[in-house]
Amino acid sequence: MSTISTVEATATAAHTNGAEPGLPGANTVSTRPGPSTLSVHGGEARDKAFHSITTPIVQASTYTFRDTAALVEYMEERMFWDEPQRDEYGRYGNPTVRAVEARLAALENGDDALLTPSGMSAITGTLLVFLSAGSHLVCTIDCYRRTRDFIQTILTRYGVEATIVPAADLQAIEDAIQPNTRLIFSESPTNPFMRCLDLEGLADIGRRHGVRTAIDSTFATPLNLRPLDYGIDLVIHSVTKYLAGHNDVMAGAVIGNGGLTTALRQMHGILGSVIDPQTAYLVGRGLKTLGLRIERQNSNGLAVAHYLEAHPRVRRVWYPGLTSHPDHAIAAAQLRGFGGVVSFEIEGDGEQTGRFIDGLQIPYIGPSLGGVESLVEQVQIVSYYDADPEKLDALGVSPSLVRLACGVEDAADIIADLEQALGRVGTEGS
């Protein structure tokens, strides 16, 4: 079976910033295809059922055997090989799902990927596999709220300890490591302040202390960052966001090397959190245009960030592509693009911020990010409506914090829209 994969890619480090791997000028000598090629063809069999160009949706909950000998042969395979060539029952795998998993693995330069029904199931499954009663986890504070909720309210019930440290602070991470620490988990870039960790430094800390490292790379996508190339053990995505990309499916993924995903696959087969083939098909379809979409979202994000930073009614902008961002240096060294999400505070209180948001005509008001439609939210209302003021202070979330997730519209139109809506804030009742 011929596939376009990443096996021939250099095993070491870090693509050069700004260069496409495998193309002239890149810090690789391999023939690794570029990320747009991998988005379309990565890991896919050239020959598919019925000579179809697309991978069919295999809508089956069970897979049958010709006779007992075939069943025994399959069981032998399953016992002695990690990767059986077929499936047995829908909870353990599905051909449509596996095809998308292979493409995700190729994109992240990993051996294997596991597709899950949501980003949260990818995260909770990973934490459940690598932590057990008496073990300890280090996690950074600036992260998806439900991840923190799972760690602080559910894992603690099962005797897992956690230390929450400031974002993007390698020293704080290393200082928090205890003899029973089993996992370091962080987003990079983080939500909503886009803090970026030095992933090479993090992988080094993990290796020196014998602790696994996992990065929720939802905000970067493999087009902008490939954490495994820096020695990180596991990459996690809310596929719901950029990877599926059309604000129409929920999915998650975990990608890794060296059999780490096998334990995860077994855990998900027991927990029962499996993605259905229809959804996996939509993810695979969305992935085909990932290269194009991310290129546009990177340029929209950068243009919007520059525009906002220069606007007198904008107090502060968080975007890793701006030199004013606290992690700009590491972001410029490790990210190939800075993404489509821009967080900013406007002058004025929460009410004026609401008025500004209501004045926008292109972005829809709502949570999420990464889809083709732009989305905007007042972070405090969408993510922290029930949080008390001290907690918001600790997180640095003020009522005037806005998160704009650029879609693939024209930057000029998004900026014109921001211009007219910011104009309203100044003129009405401030």
Say how far apart CA 137 and CA 178 lie, in whole Å.
Answer: 9
Minimum distance from CB of 180 to ligand PLP (Å)? 25
216 annotated active-site: yes
Query: Whole-angstrom Cα distance, residue 298 to residue 321?
Result: 9
CB 186 within 8 A of CB 216: yes
- Considering only the stretches 16-24, 211-219, 267-275, 347-355, report the one whose residues sit in contact with ligand PLP under the rule CB under 6 A: 211-219
Residue 276: partners with Cβ closer than 8 Å, 6 or more residues away: 117
Q: Alpha-carbon distance 38 to 42, whole Å? A: 4
Distances (CA, A) of 368 to 191, 198, 238, 397: 11, 25, 10, 17
From the candidates 111, 142, 198, 216, which is the catalytic residue?
216
Going residue by residue from 51 to 90, which x/- string records binding to ligand PLP, judged by CB under 6 A? ----------------------------------------
The answer to the question of residue 22 lying near ligand PLP (CB under 6 A) is no
Among the listed residues 98, 142, 144, 229, the single catalytic one is 144
Name which of residues 344 to 403 contact ligand PLP (CB under 6 A): none
Site for ligand PLP in 93-132 (CB under 6 A): 118-120
**Which one of 5, 238, 300, 383 is in contact with ligand PLP (CB under 6 A)?**
238
> 110-129 burial, b if ≥16 CB within 10 A, otherwise e?
bbbbbbbbbbbbbbbbbbbb
Answer for which of 10, 124, 240, 279 binds ligand PLP (CB under 6 A) is 240
Take residue 408 and report the two structure tokens written for it.
Answer: 């693939």
| Residue 221 lies near ligand PLP (rule: CB under 6 A) | no
Which CB atom, from 309 or from 373, has the smaller least distance to ligand PLP? 373
- Is 297 a residue that touches ligand PLP (CB under 6 A)? no
Is residue 144 annotated as part of the catalytic site, yes or no?
yes
Residue 116 CB, nearest distance to ligand PLP (Å)?
9
d(CA 261, CA 230) in angstroms, rounded, equals 18
CB of 239 to ligand PLP, least distance (A): 7
Q: Is 44 in the site for ligand PLP (CB under 6 A)?
A: no
Q: Could you say which of 191, 221, 247, 343 contacts ligand PLP (CB under 6 A)?
A: 191
- Under 8 Å between Cβ of 243 and 286: yes
Place of tokens 């379809």: 285
Quick one: which of 103, 182, 241, 403 contacts ligand PLP (CB under 6 A)?
241
Which of 35, 93, 144, 404 is the binder for ligand PLP (CB under 6 A)? Answer: 144
Instruction: Report d(CA 304, CA 241) in Å as an integer.
Output: 19
- Residue 137's identity, in one-letter code, is L
CB of 217 to ligand PLP, least distance (A): 8
DSSP track, 249-282: ---EEEEESTTHHHHHHHHHHHHT----HHHHHH
Identified binder of ligand PLP from the candidate list 20, 111, 112, 187, rule CB under 6 A: 187
Residue 252 makes contact with ligand PLP by CB under 6 A: yes
- CB 382 to ligand PLP: min, Å: 12
CA 404, distance to chain mean position in Å, is 17
Q: How far apart are CA 340 and CA 371, in angstroms?
A: 10
Of residues 316-355, those binding ligand PLP (CB under 6 A): none
Active site residue 91: yes
Instruction: Tell me the closest approach of the beta carbon of residue 236 to ligand PLP, in angstroms.
Output: 7
Tell me the chain's radius of gyration from C-alpha atoms.
22
In the block, tokens 């596929």 appear at 239
Nearest-CB residue to ligand PLP?
A: 119
Q: Decide: is 286 part of the binding site for ligand PLP (CB under 6 A).
A: no
> Which one, 33 or 337, has the nearer CB to ligand PLP?
337
Can you tell me whether residue 320 is helix, strand or coil? coil
Residue 258 CB coordination number (10 Å): 10
Annotated catalytic residue within 78, 91, 146, 355 = 91
Residues 135/92/119/177 CA torsion (nearest 10 deg) = 20
Residue 106 is inside which H or E element, if any?
A: helix 95-108
Out of 250, 274, 357, 418, which residue is the one contacting ligand PLP (CB under 6 A)? 250
Rank residues 250 and 397 by Cβ distance to ligand PLP and give the closer one: 250
290, 245 contact by CB (below 8 A)? yes
Minimum distance from residue 343 beta carbon to ligand PLP (Å): 13
Min dist CB 121 to ligand PLP, Å, is: 7
CB atoms inside a 10 Å sphere around CB 364 = 15
**98, 103, 182, 241: the active-site residue:** 241
Binding stretches for ligand PLP (CB under 6 A): 118-120, 144, 187, 191, 216, 218-219, 238, 240-241, 250, 252
Catalogue the active-site residues: 91, 144, 216, 241
